[in-house]
Amino acid sequence: MHILVSMPSHQGDKARDWAQALQHRLPTAQIAIDTGAPVDQTVDYLVTWQPRAGLLAQVPNARAIFTASAGVDALMNDPTLPHCPVVRLCDAGMGDQMASFALYAAFHYWRGFDRMRVAQNRASWSPDTGAVAPRPSVGVLGLGALGQVTARALREAGFPVSGWSRRKRDIDGVSTYAGSAEFEEFLAQTNLLICLLPLTPDTHHLLDHARFAAMPREAVVVNLARGDILVEGDLLAALDNGHLRGAMLDVFATEPLAEDHPFWAHEKVVVTPHIAAETLVEPGADQISDNINRIERGDKPLGAVDRDAGY
């Protein structure tokens, strides 16, 4: 059994960590780290994140491709993707991290810390904490594994929580909406939107001028998913005309964010450098090795991507 681990060149240490963790769990496997050179042997399983150009075409006989993250858009958008199962990680330590980020955002805007930040930049003493304001209604956009963990954490923290997904989900204490017919209704009652959708052709630029206008005045957008899900120019316009109160953004259409991008200096925008949730190697290796063993036994892997849906 040959396994190839491929990570971006700037993450050489991470590739080594993955290879060592998988070797510990699959001691008889031959595991190699991608060096960027042509692949000169048959690869049974590829473990990757943001594969380098041309790599997928070099593993045409792979029995499965595992992404070391919850997102699979970098794979699905490659026309040379082999016709084998593509398997994503389900949580792998990311759920708690994503939920904590969402909780921070909810408390940040509920307690008015965004306004205090602006006041500080203007050297203005403004002791309005917003403590008497009701908790905002939080809407979780995308109710996969990470979205469900996040929705439950927000509910347990006392926020009114709703959620939207392509297919109907039932989550105790969370009002759920599904499908395009219920999307506008979901947005209309959401004061703080947490985006956790996968990037697919259907979600590309989903959050645009019309969707921002459908949200209540003074609503907030928090994007922890993929930058191309929202239209950056439309978001800036909605912030500048006062319809939206603020935005907290961890992902962007182009990363790293350009030094001259208006998000950096905008007083209504909080920027973080794609750090909302990092895959933890040990639980990720548990999932991947378990799925490899399942495939070797002739069973189907858990977390296989629906190619038609794109996630």
Q: pLDDT tens digit string along 75-107?
A: 998 999 999 999 999 888 899 999 999 999 999
* Range with top average pLDDT, 2-11, 122-131, 261-270: 261-270
Q: Residue range 283-292: average pLDDT? A: 97
Provide the whole-model pTM: 0.91
Residue 131 confidence (pLDDT) above 70 = no
- The answer to whether the beta carbons of residues 185 and 177 sit under 8 Å apart is yes
Look at 55 and 127; give whichever has higher pLDDT: 55
Under the banding of pLDDT at 50, 70 and 90, the label for residue 129 is low
Residue 12 confidence (pLDDT) above 70 = no
Q: Output Rg (C-alpha) for the chain, integer angstroms.
A: 21
Closest CA to 157 of 215, 221, 99: 99
Give catalytic residues, as residue numbers.
226, 274
Under the banding of pLDDT at 50, 70 and 90, the label for residue 40 is confident
The domains located in the chain, with CATH, are: 2-92+279-296 (3.40.50.720), 94-271 (3.40.50.720)
pLDDT score, position 207: 98
Under the banding of pLDDT at 50, 70 and 90, the label for residue 132 is low
Q: Residue range 194-216: average pLDDT? A: 97
Calculate the average pLDDT of the chain. Answer: 95
> How far apart (Å, rounded) are the C-alpha atoms in residues 85 and 105?
36
Residue 296: what residue type?
E
Q: pLDDT tens digit string along 165-175?
A: 999 999 999 99
Contacts 24+ apart (CB under 8 A), 36-41: 36/9, 39/4, 41/2
Residue 275 confidence (pLDDT) above 70 = yes
Q: Which residues of 119-137 are buried (b: 16+ CB within 10 A; e: fewer)?
A: eeeeeeeeeeeeeeeebbb
